[in-house]
Structure 1
Amino acid sequence: MTQSTVYCIDSSALIDLKQLYPIVTFPGLWHEMSELVKEGRLIAPREVLKEVVGDRDLKPWLRQNKRMFVALSDEQLAIVTDILRDFSPLVDFAKETADADPFIIALAISKKHEPQELFDTRKYVVLTSEKLSNTPTPKIPNVCEHYHVECLAGSTALTQFFRQEGWEFWNTPRGPK
């Protein structure tokens, strides 16, 4: 029996990826990210797309990988309602565009409840650059902890993600200068 990990990625992780590992400088990394999308192992709610669609550096990659963005289901909407009831400070209700945070967590929870293949089970992990909060204002990792959802979070989240996937990137020498 094999278990594969599906990552529900937050806009903060996508933005950090772009800033720390620019697409033009780290094409191998972004190729691997696209492969995860093709395998259905890198997903996000459409609300994440709404948060990052204006980023001109990410836009071409987002366009090529639009299948990663999942439409909101009735089950996810019910979970979002529960999250907002229990963790209302998670979102800023004054914002014009909805915060994606509760939708990311709801996606991971709902996918975890879907029927699985007999010999290919999947675990769902939230990937965010947000850190666990010690204040009354919760962050994604706090809510994940409450709902028992695995979460790669904070400044080491991307490194943990690369290690879990077994990724190593090497500079290919270009020859004498």
Structure 2
Amino acid sequence: MVAGVVWVVDTSSIVEVRRSVENTKKPHVFEKLTELVSQGRLVFPRQVLGELARVADPVGPDQQYLWAKRNQATACQNDPSLEAVKEVLAVVPRVLDPDKDTGAEEADPYVLAKTQDLRRDGTDARVVTEEKNDTPRKMSLRTAAGLLGIPSVPLRAFLEFEGIL
């Protein structure tokens, strides 16, 4: 663990907990993630919670959504401004999915803008995302982060780096 690193987590990595963490270890992982949120070292924009909410089962929401909802007040502080999001989209417009027609805000440009805001303030901010596949029409979050000079890692590497797994 490097003191001072702030992680901006994407929807894909919160969902990845369900797939890549053994059931017996999930309570420990969520406890440690909550500690990082409390320390101000794990954050996400409110659009991440929105994406999780859109796919959550209203009758029995999954652990990932419940964790994000419980931590939203602390993790979603200081959302990036619309101007910061526009700056990101001026450089990496293809981070938005042109095939989505839901009208709901996509989290990716907000994740990038939040990370850039933190980095401008001198914080060692990095992105946690599972998105790595580019298509002719849509750029992955990992590629967009790289083009903006933002380090990014997948969930597993983040969990190992922080000593959680």
Contact 1:141 1:151 in 2 (8 A): yes
Please state which structure has a larger fraction of its residues in helix: 2
Equivalent-residue separation in structure 1 for 2:23 and 2:71 (angstroms): 14
In the alignment, is the contact (CA less than 8 A) between 1:46 and 1:71 conserved in 2?
A: no
Q: Which residue of 2 aligns with 1:131?
A: 132
Higher normalized strand content (fraction of residues): 1
The count of corresponding residues between Structure 1 and Structure 2 is 155
Counterpart contact for 1:44–1:68, Cα < 8 Å: yes
Separation in 2, partners of 1:59, 1:86: 31
Q: Which residue number corresponds to residue 173 of structure 1?
A: none
**What does residue 109 of structure 1 align with?**
116
Q: What is the match of residue 27 of structure 1?
A: 27
Partner residue of 1:84? 89
Structure with greater Cα Rg: 1
Deviation at 1:42, TM superposition (A): 0.7
Identity of aligned residues (%): 22
SS at match of 1:167: coil
Q: Residues of 2 paired with 1:59 and 1:158: CA distance? A: 16
Name which structure has the greater RCO, CA cutoff 8 Å, separation 6+: 2
Q: Kindly provide the amino acid, as one letter, of the partner of residue 59 in structure 1.
A: Y
**Which ranges in structure 1 are unaligned for 5 or more consecutive residues?**
117-121, 169-177
Structure 2 unpaired stretches of 5+: none
Deviation at 1:18, TM superposition (A): 2.5
Q: 1:35 and 1:17 mapped to 2: Cα distance?
A: 16
Cα offset, 1:61, TM superposition: 1.6
Question: What's the C-alpha RMSD, in Å, of the aligned pairs?
Answer: 2.2
Residue 105 of structure 2 corresponds to which residue in structure 1?
98
When normalised by structure 1's length, the TM-score is 0.77
TM-score, scaled to structure 2: 0.82
> Aligned pair in 2 of structure 1 residues 68, 80: CA closer, same or farther (>3 Å)?
same
**Contact 2:49/2:69 (8 A) holds in 1:** no
